[in-house]
């Protein structure tokens, strides 16, 4: 069985994230790391492999991104993925979700040319753009079904069952491999790389592919090929702290009730 897990290198959410002059996300001057939400995808991929003991299963971590994005693949290898693929090409900078899904689809097709890809696993969203659309776009491009936003994942043979907490109901969703799966942060704490895992990762294969390797033309990706254009970005003015009172014998409740009344909430 061949599992491909999608990992994204993102600016650290606790750092001062910003935009470049062309309105693309600054991915160079801000510390980056493997998107926290993709760690859950790596974890579930590894758990599927561990639960299906005795089967030959390969977990491949795949990323598309600048040079530094290799760190995201490295982290996945340290956690336990078997091999890594990093698609890097100057032309990719500024790509939107549509172009990113194209590059991912071509990379998965290339991986599948060697051994059929049975399962593609992604996270809930990236922690930068956060659109949550790449798994669905990828499924559409690959002609695969999608079972997404799983909080529990079970597989048996070629059957996949997930549980997801929808807005109006908790659902069990079933699908047949091959398919695209995405998991949420409710699916189970992601493991930390062990010392052994970190050492082992240094010997694991990590391939670097260019657009030419995938047969994608540079004109199909990047900012110039984007289907949307940003016209302006503005830092939201920081909220200024308002009045803070300390409660003493009920004074806090009284003051809060007066505030709510002054704003016509009561």
Partner 1 sequence: MAEVLVLIDHVGGQVKKPTYELLTLAAKLGEPSAVYIGGADGAAGAAEAVKGYGAEKVYVIDDAQIKGYLVAPKAEALAQVAGAASPAAILLPSSAENKEVAARLAIKLDSGLITDAVDLDESGVATQSVFAGNYTVKGKVTKGTPIITVKPNSAAPVEKAGAAAVTPFEVTISDAAKTAQIVASQPRKASGRPELTEAAIVVSGGRGTGGDFSAVEGLADALGAAVGASRAAVDSGWMPHTFQVGQTGKTVSPQLYVANGISGAIQHRAGMQTSKTIVAVNKDEEAPIFELVDFGVVGDLHTVLPAVTEAVKAAKA
**Coil/strand/helix, residue 85:** strand
- Interaction between residue 252 and partner 1 (CB under 8 A): yes
Q: Does 129 bind partner 1 (CB under 8 A)?
A: yes
Closest CB 1 distance from partner 1, rounded Å: 18
Say whether residue 153 binds partner 1 (CB under 8 A): no
30 binds partner 1 (CB under 8 A): no
Return the beta strands (E) in 12-78 as ranges.
32-34, 58-64
Q: How far apart are the first and last CA of the chain?
A: 60
| Contact track, partner 1, 87-126, x by CB under 8 A | ---------xxx--x----------------------xx-
Of 43 and 86, nearer to partner 1 (C-beta) is 43
Binder of partner 1 out of 6, 61, 147, 150 (CB under 8 A): 147
Task: Give the count of beta carbons closer than 10 Å to the beta carbon of residue 100.
Answer: 23
> How far apart are CB 22 and partner 1 at their closest, in Å?
12
- Lay out the site mask for partner 1 across 65-94 (x = CB under 8 A, - = otherwise): ------------------------------
Residues 170-189 that bind partner 1 (CB under 8 A): 170-176, 179, 184-186
Question: Near partner 1 by CB under 8 A, which window of 53-61, 78-86, 106-114, 131-139?
Answer: 131-139
Q: Min. distance of Cβ 142 from partner 1 in angstroms?
A: 10
Dist CA 45 CA 228 (whole Å)? 33
Which residues, 6 or more positions from 235, have their beta carbon under 8 angstroms from its beta carbon? Answer: none
Number of other CB atoms surrounding residue 25 within 10 Å? 16
How far apart CA 133 and CA 124 sit, in angstroms, is 9
Q: Do the beta carbons of residue 91 and residue 68 sit within 8 Å?
A: no
Task: Give the per-residue contact string, 215-244, with partner 1 (x = CB under 8 A; - = no).
Answer: -----------xxxxxxxxxxx--x-xxxx
Rank residues 89 and 96 by Cβ distance to partner 1 and give the closer one.
96
Q: What is the dihedral of CA 86, 205, 35, 162, to 10 degrees?
A: 110
Nearest-approach distance from CB 20 to partner 1, in angstroms:
13
The answer to whether 181 touches 122, Cβ cutoff 8 Å, is: yes
Q: What is the rounded CA–CA span in Å between residue 140 and residue 30? A: 33
If one asks whether residue 166 binds partner 1 (CB under 8 A), the answer comes out as: yes
Polymer length of the chain? 266
- Tell me whether residue 53 or residue 231 sits nearer to partner 1 (CB atom): 231
**Cβ at position 4, least distance to partner 1 in Å:** 18
Report the alpha-carbon angle 201-90-86, nearest 5: 20
- Is 31 or 50 the residue whose CB approaches partner 1 more closely? 31
For residue 203, the tally of other CB atoms under 10 A from its CB is 7
What is the smallest separation between the CB atom of 33 and partner 1, expressed in angstroms? 14
């Amino acid at each position: 069985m061949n599992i491909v897990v999608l990992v994204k290198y993102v600016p650290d959410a606790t750092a001062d994230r910003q935009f470049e002059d062309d309105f693309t996300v600054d991915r160079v001057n801000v510390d980056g790391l493997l998107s926290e939400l993709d760690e859950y995808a790596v974890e579930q991929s590894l758990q599927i492999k561990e639960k299906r003991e005795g089967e030959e299963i390969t977990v491949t971590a795949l990323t598309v991104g600048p040079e530094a994005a290799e760190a995201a693949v490295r982290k996945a290898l340290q956690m336990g993925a078997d091999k890594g693929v990093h698609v890097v090409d100057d032309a990719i900078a500024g790509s939107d979700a549509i172009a990113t899904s194209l590059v991912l689809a071509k990379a998965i097709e290339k991986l599948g040319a060697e051994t059929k890809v049975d399962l593609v696993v992604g996270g809930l969203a990236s922690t930068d753009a956060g659109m949550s659309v790449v798994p669905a776009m990828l499924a559409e491009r690959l002609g695969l079904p999608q079972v997404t936003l799983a909080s529990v994942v079970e597989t048996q043979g070629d059957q996949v069952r997930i549980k997801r907490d929808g807005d109006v109901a908790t659902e069990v969703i079933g699908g047949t491999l091959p398919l695209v799966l995405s998991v949420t942060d409710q699916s189970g704490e992601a493991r930390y790389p062990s010392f052994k895992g970190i050492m082992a990762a240094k010997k694991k294969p990590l391939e670097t592919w260019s657009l030419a390797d995938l047969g994608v033309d540079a004109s199909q990706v990047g900012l110039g090929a984007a289907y949307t254009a940003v016209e302006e970005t503005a830092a939201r003015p920081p909220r200024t702290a308002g009045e803070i009172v300390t409660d003493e014998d009920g004074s806090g409740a009284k003051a809060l009730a007066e505030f709510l009344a002054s704003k016509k909430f009561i």
